[in-house]
């Protein structure tokens, strides 16, 4: 039978453990050195002999004290050090939480990303927070957003329902980027009763002019069931791996599919999706079991 003293020790120990766990999740894990998550695969109909290294950054969510311009610039250096052929960014550059000690505006985070360098270029898409935090874009129901203008001002291409054809060792491939799937917030005056997407998957893929493989950038992974087999690989962010992940399970995932597309490499019907755990966080400044990560993907 547990004594009163034993009970108090148990309660005290449990409380201390909870406080310590919370302090780690808020103050330590979000600031840990970035983990490089490596994948190696040969997707369907990938050209023989085409070896391509893609480095991807997702969900930076610039803010102080966690994601300062200095830290973002350091992340750019880490990405460059992986010797990528091409660098892609998967959206959500703006802060996703109000719990900050200071804001980091586009005029600060975009120049910090300008140090990204790769032989075949640096390409980006936008995320929902890049739209949600832009009042003018919400009012107009259209861009260009502040984030898009800031990225383009430092020489980074933004793909919104657009494609670009690249070539390595005489073999071509396409980067296709979708506009955000939940870009516009509800606005009764504008006739928007729910979240409204600006993505156009069929229209985007229609711009692909030959049979070379396609790498699709889509901020939210929920588009994946609609992605045709023609696309060799889909890259997404948005979920942050649930921000809290225990034994391969995330209790809360911002996806209609729950844990199905929460994190990692997903293969369905011989189609490939990789979902990044991202670098920052949204709503609450918490990460536990999902260290900040940069993706290194070796294809072929």
What residues does each domain of the chain span? 1-31, 34-299
Confidence of residue 8 (pLDDT cuts 50, 70, 90): very low
DSSP label at residue 178 = P
Q: Check: CATH 3.60.21.10 for 34-299?
A: yes
Quick: pLDDT tens for 19-56. Answer: 333 334 444 544 556 799 999 999 988 999 999 999 99
Q: Across 49-134, where does the E strand assignment appear?
A: 52-57, 63-64, 86-89, 102-103, 122-124
What tokens were used for 104? Answer: 């980091």
Contact 104, 129 (CB under 8 A): no
State whether the Cα torsion 176-225-57-54 is positive or negative: negative
Contact 60, 70 (CB under 8 A): no
Question: Per-residue pLDDT averaged across 123-151, rounded?
Answer: 97
Quick: pLDDT tens for 153-187. Answer: 999 999 999 999 999 999 999 999 999 999 999 99
The model carries a pTM of 0.89
Lowest model confidence (mean pLDDT) among 104-113, 114-123, 183-192, 213-222: 183-192
Burial of 129 (0-12, 13-18, 19+ CB in 10 A): buried
């Amino acid at each position: 039978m547990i004594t009163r003293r034993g009970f108090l020790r148990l309660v005290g120990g449990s409380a201390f453990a909870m406080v310590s766990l919370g302090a780690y999740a808020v103050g330590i894990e979000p600031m840990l050195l970035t983990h490089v998550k490596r994948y190696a695969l040969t997707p369907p109909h990938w050209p023989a002999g085409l070896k391509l290294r893609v480095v991807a950054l997702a969900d930076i969510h610039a803010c102080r004290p966690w994601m300062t311009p200095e830290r973002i610039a350091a992340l750019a250096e880490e990405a460059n050090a992986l010797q990528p052929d091409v660098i892609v960014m998967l959206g959500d550059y703006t802060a996703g939480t109000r719990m900050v000690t200071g804001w980091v505006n586009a005029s600060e985070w975009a120049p910090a990303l300008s140090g990204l360098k790769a032989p075949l270029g640096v390409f980006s898409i936008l995320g929902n927070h890049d739209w949600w935090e832009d009042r003018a874009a919400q009012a107009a129901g259209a861009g260009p957003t502040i984030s898009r203008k800031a990225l383009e001002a430092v020489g980074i291409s933004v793909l919104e329902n657009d494609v670009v054809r690249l070539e390595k060792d005489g073999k071509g491939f396409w980067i296709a980027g979708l506009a955000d799937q939940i870009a516009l917030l509800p606005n009764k005056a504008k006739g928007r009763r729910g979240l409204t997407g600006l993505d156009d998957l069929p229209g985007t893929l229609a711009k692909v002019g030959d049979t070379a493989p396609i790498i699709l950038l889509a901020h939210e992974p929920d588009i994946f069931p609609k992605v045709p087999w023609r696309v060799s690989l889909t890259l997404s962010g948005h979920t942050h791996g649930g921000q809290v992940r225990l034994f391969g399970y995330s209790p809360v995932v911002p996806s209609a599919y729950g844990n199905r597309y929460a994190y990692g490499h997903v293969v369905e019907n011989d189609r490939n999706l990789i979902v990044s755990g991202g670098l920052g966080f949204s709503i609450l400044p918490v990460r536990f079991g999902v260290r900040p990560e940069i993706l290194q993907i070796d294809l072929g």
